[in-house]
Amino acid sequence: MITPRSGAVATETFVIGDVEPSIRIAFPTTADAPTLGLDQPTRLSGGAALTPDALSSATGLDHVPGLRSFLAEACRSQAAAGRSWFRHPPLVLVGAAGFGRGHVARRIAHLTGVPLVEACGSELNDAGEREGRSTRCIPIPVLAMALTRCANPIVLLDLGEKPLDPLASRRLVEMLDPVRTGRWLDEGLGCVFDLSNVSWIVQASETSHSIAAIEAHGGRAIATVRCADTREELRRLSIAQQVACDGEGGASDPHMVGNIVSRLRRHFMDDVPTGRALFDHAFALRDRAGSGE
């Protein structure tokens, strides 16, 4: 068993002029502990997005009940604490696949300018199976920070249809627990990590013990449901279309646009002129993206 060095772990915040603030993430407990470069100051982003009403209104995702108030409160909390970067508490989006859960995460990431890293719940199960072996497994939020060189990325975790096993569920809740995140010890890596500025968005098809535990530790669960009103569905698809084109330089995501095209074909091609027009627009975007225009 690895024992941390004696003494408290201090989190330092560095601010130089108008440059983004940064903090140290990794505090090794052994001489050979891999820090992945996170023992150096790592940037904190998204300060320009902390105006509560502006961010919550700009999302355009009113079909997700409670999302606007959730984002507004997150911005207010950051500002009240004097933190000039974006972060929100754990958010769980519960509902069937295909109704905008991934769009919510991508939209928030784009509007705030914070990097988004996607992961699957199966990775947590795999990590749990390797726990106690000699193989070192890098935790999802640590890997996200190391890959983006950002201390406050958004981690989009898709739990899929298979529930987390008990060990993986406990590990996830520990990484989200506000009491633990500032000084989270990974015994396998021999490091204490500061996970406190990572924003989690968890996708789940239904409620579970894991989700209940996340809520008990300060998280928020919001249900995403399908609306029977065709006009509302078209509005959602229009937002999804915008999200697909929110890449750098206005480049669209062909895979995402392709998914939108499929949904339009299934739901809105029959006797809905607006649906056909939106379909044609999505199809044209996909073709342009494929040809590199």
Q: What is the mean pLDDT of each run of 10 residues along the chain (293 residues)?
A: 31 48 94 92 89 76 80 91 93 77 83 91 64 65 94 92 82 89 90 96 86 90 70 64 57 58 60 59 63 53
Q: Identify the pLDDT of residue 105.
A: 86
Return the closest-CA partner of residue 151 out of 240, 267, 42, 275: 42
Distance CA 189, CA 208 (A): 30
- The answer to whether the beta carbons of residues 120 and 256 sit under 8 Å apart is no
C-beta atoms surrounding 129 within 10 Å:
13
Reading phi first (left if > 0) and then psi (alpha if -120 to 50, else beta), residue 218 is in left
Beta-bridge partners for 117: 155
- Domains of the chain: which residue ranges? 47-223, 230-291
Q: Identify the pLDDT of residue 103.
A: 77
Q: Identify the pLDDT of residue 146.
A: 94
Distance CA 221, CA 5 (A): 37
Q: Identify the pLDDT of residue 201.
A: 94
**47-223 belongs to which CATH class?**
alpha beta
**Single-letter amino acid, residue 292:** G
Q: Identify the pLDDT of residue 167.
A: 86
Q: Identify the pLDDT of residue 24.
A: 96
Global pTM value: 0.74
Q: For the sheet with 26-28, list strands across it.
A: 26-28, 191-193, 184-186
Q: Identify the pLDDT of residue 129.
A: 47
Q: Identify the pLDDT of residue 14.
A: 39
